[in-house]
Amino acid sequence: MFPRPIQKSSPAWAATYQALVPMALILWLLPLIAVAVFSVKPDVDFTTGNYWGWPSAFKGFENYGKVFFASDMPRYLWNSVLITVPTVIGAVALSCMAGFALGVYKFRGNLLLFFMFVAGNFVPFQILMVPVRDLTLDLGLYNTKTGLVLFHVAFQTGFCTLFMRNFIRALPFELIEAARVEGVAEWRIFWFVVLPLMKPAIAALSVLIFTFIWNDYFWAVVLTQGAESQPVTAGITSFNAQYRAAYHLMSAGSIVAALPPVAMFFLMQRHFIAGLTLGAVK
């Protein structure tokens, strides 16, 4: 193990380390802690200049209550759910199949197709912006959640296929060969042999894509406008325009907007990290 385990060094240093870690953490998360404290402050604290001091009163319920009951925030949140969940399902489904095809079969152009997905996934969004916006307008899907979902599914399929294909490659190939010798149809091999083994990859990808799409801002701005279809990342900017200088409400709104992916991360931590770090170890 590197660095040398702390238990093997002097007790004094071990104790210092134990104290150092939480201090470093507080420093690291200071901006977030500030927002969390902001969100429970009463508005007088901001007019009297008590920005960084202790809240003069606890107004958490009032502030969050306002976000939930007196603003468009719940609509934005619900829009985000309606955009994120179908995207996750669509992208994972498409990439399971594509990844299976690329990972299991040998055919001409296999690597070429695979690299098309990989390269497309690295492309800067901006080169897609004008044509995709145009396409969405032509389909009559501008400013709809469907338009956003369709694009997200297509784009995320690139990353997901890269992920799935590499995962399937690492599975024991003998299983598939054994099934083939028995004369099992290919789609049955996919459904009954490979898919059950892909559960960890599906879980990892689902949480990752959930976070990516929930946090997407660029496409939300390009393809939607207004509370009827905008997700929460875009909604938070209009929320903030509405409550300009009301820092306690802006903070509460931001925390609400950021919470679902955070909850997802903590609930599915193992899968999340497994997904992010796939390929980081040989």
Identify residues 111-140 at the interface with other proteins (CB under 8 A).
111, 113, 115-120, 122-135
Interface residue with other proteins, options 64, 76, 100, 142 (CB under 8 A) = 100
Instruction: Mark 208-237 with x for binding to other proteins (rule: CB under 8 A) and - for no binding.
Output: ---x--xx-xx--xx----------x--xx
Rounded-to-integer distance, Cα 272 and Cα 220, Å: 24
C-alpha span between 211 and 282 (Å, rounded): 26
Using CA atoms of 210, 84, 258, 224 in order, give the dihedral in degrees to the nearest 10: 140
Q: What is the dihedral of CA 64, 34, 219, 271, to 10 degrees?
A: -90
Task: Using the rule CB under 8 A, give the single segment among 55-63, 69-77, 97-105, 198-206 that binds other proteins.
Answer: 97-105
Among 67, 73, 83, 98, binds other proteins (CB under 8 A): 98
- Report d(CA 212, CA 121) in Å as an integer: 13
Residue type, 62: E
Interface residue with other proteins among 44, 48, 74, 178 (CB under 8 A) is 178
Gap between the Cα atoms of 157 and 132, Å rounded: 16
Residues 190-209 that bind other proteins (CB under 8 A): 190, 192-193, 196
Q: Which of residues 239-268 bind other proteins (CB under 8 A)?
A: 240, 247, 250, 254, 257-258, 261-262, 264-266
Least spacing, CB of residue 167 vs other proteins, in Å: 14
Nearer to other proteins, 203 or 258 (CB): 258
Q: Is 16 in the site for other proteins (CB under 8 A)?
A: no
Q: Which is nearer to other proteins, 59 or 212 (CB)?
A: 212
**In the window 56-85, what residues touch other proteins (CB under 8 A)?**
none
The secondary structure of 192-216 as a DSSP string is IIIHHHTHHHHHHHHHHHHHHHHT-
Pairwise CA distance, residues 28 & 108, whole Å:
50
**At which residue do the structure tokens 């879980």 appear?**
203
CB of 88 to other proteins, least distance (A): 15
- Report, in Å, the least distance between residue 279 CB and other proteins: 6
Q: Is residue 183 a contact residue for other proteins (CB under 8 A)?
A: yes
- Write out the binding residues for other proteins, residues 25-44 only, by CB under 8 A: 25, 28-32, 34-35
* Residue 280 is a binding residue for other proteins (CB under 8 A): yes
Q: Assess contact for 232 and 79: CB atoms under 8 A.
A: yes
Q: Which of these, 277, 275, 102, lies nearest to 199 by C-alpha position?
A: 275
Give min distance, CB of 106 to other proteins, in A.
9
Residues in contact with other proteins, total (CB under 8 A)?
Answer: 111
* Element containing residue 54 per DSSP (H, E): none
Q: Number of helices and strands (H, E) in the chain?
A: 16, 0
